[in-house]
Amino acid sequence: MKYISPILSPAALILLTLLSFSCKQKPKNAEETEKCFDKHLLTPAQQAVIRKQIHADEKAKRLDSLFQKKFKSQGFNGTVLVAQKGVIIYENAFGYSDFRKKTPLNLNSGFQLASISKTFTGVGILILAQEGKLSIDDSIQKFIPNFPYHGIHIEDLLSHRSGLPNYLYAFEDKRKLNGPPPNNDTIIDWFCKADPLPPAYNKPGCFFSYNNSNFMLLAAIIERVSGMKYAEFLQKRIFTPLDMFHTYIDTLAPDSLLKLKTSGHNGNHERERDFYDGVYGDKGIYSTVEDLSRWYFGLYHECILNRHWLDLAFTPRSFEKRSRHNYGLGFRIMTQPTDMKKVEFIYHGGWWAGYSTMFWSNPDKEYVIIVLGNKKSTSVYQVQPIVQILEGSKQADKDANGESSDTL
């Protein structure tokens, strides 16, 4: 694979931000989001200063060595972007978009984000809460009156504490044989008309239980409150204002983007469409590594949500088990080793139909790691060697030579 030099492309320059600034205005609409994002673009001179300060060229070489190893011996097939203090240190593409056609990947290749999509759905809900159009204390029945599970609030859905059964496993297989693939309204109708009703996993608010039903419902609530389709809402309020021009949902994608869409694979074999591909909110967004870096920078600079709502999103919610791994409102969280309530990393991974994805950030140390794969591989999730490079450890070089493959 060709090594991407530290000299950035014009497309990449748009992503760069000054992390010393913050938006003082409370963003209320798409226009203010766009102005906030544009305000933080770095000049070439500013980029050069930061690159020297963080030893970007040295880190880029070490990252390339690490990812060449992942590609050649660990099954990695995908794209990667690593940025620190607003500067893209490394980005590259490895392997094929379609193994049968031998179509090479590039940095504009679109990947199914799988569960990283939940971060967009969660922020979409919080945008509406910030604008006073809903409360995270609202019940499901305020928006879906005949929904048969009671005592569940929007906050429970956002934090995976609803206790709902997972729609992926709640209904008998004969539905797959006797009907067309469902969308969100179909799944909600199944729940509302089910006899017997699939049993809840547990009582609302009592336990963390990761569950795609939660974010399927949240996408439906976005539609009912905003009066727009989910895809239209995200396009208007997030994708367009943040210049995420290669991010889309299938239902609202031009042919020019669909041509760049990758195929998910198990091994070198393309995965068939899944029966539940038409359900969205829990998955379903396609994007690129560069667009996801725009997503991170837009969040970091409070261009979408103000600090109050970001703090709520990034606050751990579940403490039934003693663990550094937790969940906020649409985001996974890894806490400090010595303080289970203090956040160190904000992240989300995903897997769906041959796609493996990871979005990993440390806001305090100002870096983001984005890895998108269209071939099932655990190497996508092994972020510890990348973190070690960004934080100056030499251990990552040993990992690249096969001495360790630890994950955080």
Residue 132 burial by Cβ neighbours in a 10 Å radius (0-12, 13-18, 19+)? exposed
Homologous superfamily in CATH for domain 10-111+229-400 = DD-peptidase/beta-lactamase superfamily (3.40.710.10)
Q: What is the DSSP-derived secondary structure letter of residue 103?
A: E
pLDDT digits 0-9 by tens, 225-252: 999 999 999 999 999 999 999 999 976 6
Question: Cβ neighbours of residue 124 under 8 Å, at least 6 residues apart?
Answer: 218, 219, 222, 230, 233, 234, 237, 238
Backbone angles phi, psi at 326, to 5 degrees: -145, -175
From the list 100, 102, 202, the residue with the least C-alpha distance to 161 is 202
pLDDT surpassing 80 at residue 365:
yes
- Confidence label for 28 from pLDDT (cuts 50, 70 and 90): low
Question: What pTM was estimated for this model as a whole?
Answer: 0.90
Sketch the domain layout of the chain as residue ranges.
Answer: 10-111+229-400
What is the pLDDT at residue 275?
92
pLDDT digits 0-9 by tens, 384-398: 999 999 998 776 566
Judge contact between 211 and 160, C-beta under 8 A. Answer: yes
pLDDT digits 0-9 by tens, 180-233: 899 999 999 999 999 999 999 999 999 999 999 999 999 999 999 999 999 999
Q: Which residues pair with 320 in a beta bridge?
A: none
Alpha-carbon distance values, 300 to 24, 113, 293, 332, 361 (Å): 13, 20, 10, 16, 10
What is the pLDDT at residue 168?
95
Judge contact between 121 and 237, C-beta under 8 A. Answer: no
What is the pLDDT at residue 255?
81
Q: Structure tokens of 103?
A: 């179509």
* Per-residue three-class SS string for 193-208: HCCCCCCCCCCCCCCC
Q: In 3-state terms, what secondary structure has residue 33?
A: helix
What is the rounded (10 degree) CA torsion for 290, 356, 275, 188? -70
